[in-house]
Amino acid sequence: MPLTIKNVLESRIEKIVTAYARSKHWLAYKFSSPSNRGVPDHIYLRNGVVFFIEFKKQGKKPTALQHHIHQRIELEGIKVHVVDSIEAGKALFDTYED
The sheet carrying 27-30 orders its strands as 27-30, 42-46, 49-55, 79-83
Instruction: Give per-residue pLDDT as tens, 7-40.
Output: 789 999 999 999 999 999 999 999 989 989 999 9
Q: Which domains does the chain have, with CATH numbers?
A: 5-94 (3.40.1350.10)
Instruction: Give per-residue pLDDT as tens, 39-91.
Output: 999 999 999 999 999 999 999 999 999 999 999 999 999 999 999 999 999 99
φ/ψ region of 64 (left if φ > 0, alpha if ψ in -120 to 50, else beta) reads: alpha
Instruction: Give the predicted TM-score (pTM) of the model.
Output: 0.89
